[in-house]
Structure 1
């Protein structure tokens, strides 16, 4: 799934010669900007338009995939590696049903 999205994004970027603008710094900025647009959907209430929510989430994911590709990382492996780290910080038997930070469990 991620490979197909990455390959489609690579083709899209190449067709437009946009790789020149996709430094890690610029992509990280774009993630933050798009994440703010995603958050804006919830600015005044908890109900966001479902299509706008999907569109903004797609923008965030797009830039995340592009950044991972730019730094030579596999997005799926990044998530799995981080999940393993988080699993160690938040053991289920201590963290279940709690929202405290790991150092306060």
Structure 2
């Protein structure tokens, strides 16, 4: 069996990353902790850590981050992404297929002629 350190670091696909995460968890006997409930909570915590970086910034400041802030944002975004991928793997959800279905639904819910220039929820578009 390969170890997580033997796997490629230049990931070429979501499958590569999920295989790495699966091996990483297995080697540490963490699968028992990776129930969907726990992964969803970990994902929310990491998203909160990402939000914390922006919490008190003015809108324009959030568009022009310092190098240190960008580094923090990058790390937290990676945490969110990795937990999402791990959760999808555990639940056997194909995120690419789910994303395709969701974009089709979004196109239907938010037609350009009704949604352009508005941040209104689809249920309130008229």
TM over 0.5: yes
Output one character per residue of 1:53-83: Cα deviation in whole Å (capped at 9) or x when no partner: 0100111111111111111111111211111
Number of equivalenced pairs: 105
Cα distance in 1 between the residues matched to 2:107 and 2:29: 40
Cα distance in 2 between the residues matched to 1:78 and 1:12: 25
Task: Identify the residue that residue 7 of structure 2 maps to in structure 1.
Answer: none
Task: Identify the residue that residue 12 of structure 1 maps to in structure 2.
Answer: 24
Cα distance in 2 between the residues matched to 1:76 and 1:67: 14
Unmatched runs of 5 consecutive residues or more in structure 1: none
Cα distance in 2 between the residues matched to 1:97 and 1:79: 23
Which of structure 1's runs of 4+ aligned residues deviate more than 4 A?
none
Task: Identify the residue that residue 88 of structure 2 maps to in structure 1.
Answer: 68
Unmatched runs of 5 consecutive residues or more in structure 2: 1-12
Output one character per residue of 1:9-50: Cα deviation in whole Å (capped at 9) or x when no partner: 111111111111000100010011110000001012124611
Q: Does 1:27 align with 2:47?
A: no
The offset of 1:93, in angstroms, is 2.1
Task: Identify the residue that residue 86 of structure 1 maps to in structure 2.
Answer: 106
SS in 2 for 1:41: helix
Q: CA RMSD in A?
A: 1.3
Cα distance in 2 between the residues matched to 1:92 and 1:2: 31
Normalising by the residue count of structure 1, what TM-score does the alignment of the two structures yield?
0.92
Cα distance in 2 between the residues matched to 1:11 and 1:2: 14
Cα distance in 2 between the residues matched to 1:11 and 1:84: 33
Normalising by the residue count of structure 2, what TM-score does the alignment of the two structures yield?
0.78
